Amino acid sequence: MYARLVLDSYLLHFIGGPLQRYLGARRDILDAVNEMVQNMFEEINYKKEGRNAERFAVLYGGLVKELDASTSSSNKSYKSKQRWKTRRQLNSDAPLDFVKVPKIYWNLSSKAVLTMEWIDGIKLTDLATLHKMNFNTQKLVDQGVFSSLRQLLEEGFFHADPHPGNLVVTKEGMLAYFDFGMMGDFPREYRIGLIRTLVHFVNRDSLGLANDFLVLGFVPKGANLQDIAVELHASFGDEKSKAQLDFQGIMSQLSNVMYKYNFRLPPHYALVIRALGSLEGTATLLDPEFKVVASAYPFIIGRLLADPDPDMREILRELLIRNNGSIRWHRLERLVVAIADQSSAKSGPSKQSDKGRTLSEQDDISKEDTRSWGMFDTRTVVSATSDLLDFILSDEGYRVRVLLVQDIVLSLNAFLDKALLASMKHDSYKGNGSSIDGEKTNKQGNKSRRMGTEEEPGGAQEIEDFNLRISRALGAFKRAVNSSPELWIILLFNFASRSETHAFLGTLVHSLLSSWHRKGSEHFWLLLSWVIHDMYDTKK
């Protein structure tokens, strides 16, 4: 078989060039042939597959490798002199969320034969048996997705073909993996690039996504990114399509843009695409509503919080702060609430977890896809918060501070205006140029921009939603602090003692006083008008 593959690969390589010229193919066929041939030879090299299996077991199967004293440290063939123990054998407190990987019997294996442990299990296609044995199929989906995302985005060594034939469920409820011939080894810079791309796609940042495609090598150098961004924005569709974050839907959305601008798929990402497609196909057997990108998003946020790498911190800032310096309040609110909900879950269910749910339903990811698998570690969240506050208080964060002050002033003014109207039990005191109704108008009657954003026009409903978000986020933050006060209080104390914080608070107080001074006359005449109207109504 090996000799036949060599001959076939030679013939394919020989006809690749002429075939490309004859067909007028836009992609280099020889690159595709070389990639395919390389994968074929790797899949029939059983020694390499065995080494892949053992490496996979060390990373994800909970195994720890122990070498005999007689074994050389330079021995990289993982022979039988090595002893394997599970982390549970070495440490009874080790977690149980590992996958099962068959043991390799090297003394019975060769380059043409691979002998491995027999594992009893239930196929994922056998739903009747899974239900009969009372397996929680949603938990199995979460376990498989978490494992695959760890492979792709955390460690970089991943199973490129997780289809139902390569997975079974053991009687203990663990997923067992087979067939380690097609594996991907994803360098860190590519993992960061993939995370950035997924964040931009989920948040519909077409220009950021176009730039990602250029950096990752999907589009040729010199391509017009503005044109690509316009096409990508059009491909996103309307608001209803935001929830369409399944893999097939995404590929369908992007297919026309990819063809028009001669996209090519770098070899590293070809296996990633295959792995994500296989993962979604497998997961939908157990959960028909499963969407791989939507489900990956909470894990990605967890990675952004946990990884102090400057590139990851930059992505986190980009997620929460727009290019113009304004804060994306709806995303910040969702993130704080998710962190607080997870913190509260450790000590019991939160009564506030569903408060304001209608606001979350309007956000980028639907509420059923906010599973977190314990993605937020409190220490990493505190560290990420510290880095974000450092940025805001730095010289680079000047624009953010300016717009943050504007947002706070607008929010408090709207709150006070609403309280004033409520106290008068009257809502008809609105005139041209008045901001009492929460909608500031100019002389032409046009609404001005609100909340420091270019995309979001001002309006009473927007201000009210913003205040609800702030209220919900503050409540969630209080719960998060209560769950780990020793960490959060130290952070707050450190920032409260900094001169940059004092300067920011001074600017905020000055802006509030200036705003209230300007609005004082408007409030005075409004109250006077109300008193006169009330006296007139009383006389009548």
SS3 annotation, 33-60: HHHHHHHHHHHCCHHHHHHHHHHHHHHH
SS3 223: coil
pLDDT of residue 327: 87
pLDDT average, residue stretch 336-347: 67
pLDDT of residue 123: 93
Range of the domain at 276: 119-306
| Of the residues 273, 306, 339, the one at which a domain ends | 306
pLDDT average, residue stretch 14-33: 67
pLDDT average, residue stretch 126-140: 90
Highest-confidence range of 5-9, 333-337, 342-346, by mean pLDDT? Answer: 333-337
Q: With 90 as the cut, is the pLDDT of residue 506 above it?
A: yes
Let me know how long the chain is.
Answer: 540
- What whole-number percentage of the chain has pLDDT above 70? 68
| Of the residues 245, 275, 306, the one at which a domain ends | 306
Q: With 50 as the cut, is the pLDDT of residue 315 above it?
A: yes
Angle at 413 between CA 352 and CA 444, to 5 degrees: 125
- Predicted structure pTM score: 0.72
Q: Do 291 and 417 belong to one domain?
A: no
Question: Is residue 75, in this structure, part of any structural domain at all?
Answer: no
Q: Do 293 and 430 belong to one domain?
A: no
pLDDT of residue 12: 73
pLDDT average, residue stretch 399-413: 87
Assign 400 a pLDDT band (cuts: 50, 70, 90). very high
Q: With 70 as the cut, is the pLDDT of residue 71 above it?
A: no
Question: Is residue 490, in this structure, part of any structural domain at all?
Answer: yes
pLDDT of residue 422: 66
Q: With 80 as the cut, is the pLDDT of residue 414 above it?
A: no
Q: At what angle do helices 499-539 and 398-424 cross, to 10 degrees?
A: 20
Question: Is residue 514, in this structure, part of any structural domain at all?
Answer: yes
Q: Do 413 and 299 belong to one domain?
A: no
DSSP state for residue 448 in the 8-state scheme: P
Q: With 70 as the cut, is the pLDDT of residue 226 above it?
A: yes
Q: With 50 as the cut, is the pLDDT of residue 535 above it?
A: yes
Q: Name the more confident of 269 and 52.
A: 52
Domains of the chain: total: 2
Q: Do 413 and 506 belong to one domain?
A: yes
pLDDT average, residue stretch 273-293: 86
pLDDT of residue 416: 74
pLDDT average, residue stretch 32-49: 76
Q: Do 282 and 166 belong to one domain?
A: yes
Report how far Cα 278 is from the mean position of its chain's Cα atoms. Answer: 20
Which of 117-131, 172-186, 243-257 has the weakest average pLDDT?
A: 243-257
Q: Do 431 and 521 belong to one domain?
A: yes
pLDDT average, residue stretch 364-391: 69
pLDDT of residue 537: 62
Per-position b or e across 411-448, b if 16+ CB within 10 A of its CB: bbbbbebbebbeebeeeebeeeeebbbbbbbeeeeeee
List, in sequence order, every residue forming a beta bridge with 158; answer none if it has no partner.
Answer: 184
pLDDT of residue 26: 55
Question: Is residue 399, in this structure, part of any structural domain at all?
Answer: yes
Assign 346 a pLDDT band (cuts: 50, 70, 90). low
pLDDT of residue 363: 46
Assign 156 a pLDDT band (cuts: 50, 70, 90). very high
Question: Is residue 189, in this structure, part of any structural domain at all?
Answer: yes
Q: Do 176 and 300 belong to one domain?
A: yes
Q: Do 295 and 420 belong to one domain?
A: no
Assign 375 a pLDDT band (cuts: 50, 70, 90). low
List, in sequence order, every residue forming a beta bridge with 65; answer none if it has no partner.
Answer: 84
Angstrom distance (rounded) from CA 148 to CA 271: 13
Q: Do 411 and 267 belong to one domain?
A: no
User: pLDDT, tens digit, for every residue of 81-106?
Assistant: 344 444 444 343 434 457 899 999 99
Q: With 50 as the cut, is the pLDDT of residue 291 above it?
A: yes
pLDDT of residue 53: 94
Which of 149-153, 251-255, 456-460 has the weakest average pLDDT?
A: 456-460
pLDDT of residue 425: 57
The tokens describing 180, both together, are 């380690």
pLDDT of residue 29: 64
Question: Is residue 388, in this structure, part of any structural domain at all?
Answer: yes
Question: Is residue 335, in this structure, part of any structural domain at all?
Answer: no
Q: How many CA atoms lie within 13 A of 137 on its CB side?
A: 20
Q: Name the more confident of 447 and 493.
A: 493
Q: Name the more confident of 234 and 92.
A: 234
Are the C-beta atoms of 265 and 218 separated by less than 8 Å?
yes
Question: Is residue 483, in this structure, part of any structural domain at all?
Answer: yes
pLDDT average, residue stretch 218-244: 78
Q: With 50 as the cut, is the pLDDT of residue 272 above it?
A: yes
Which of 12-21, 208-217, 435-444, 504-513 has the weakest average pLDDT?
A: 435-444
| Of the residues 287, 306, 325, the one at which a domain ends | 306
353 burial type by CB count under 10 A (0-12 exposed, 13-18 middle, 19+ buried)? middle
User: pLDDT, tens digit, for every residue of 51-64?
Assistant: 999 999 999 986 55
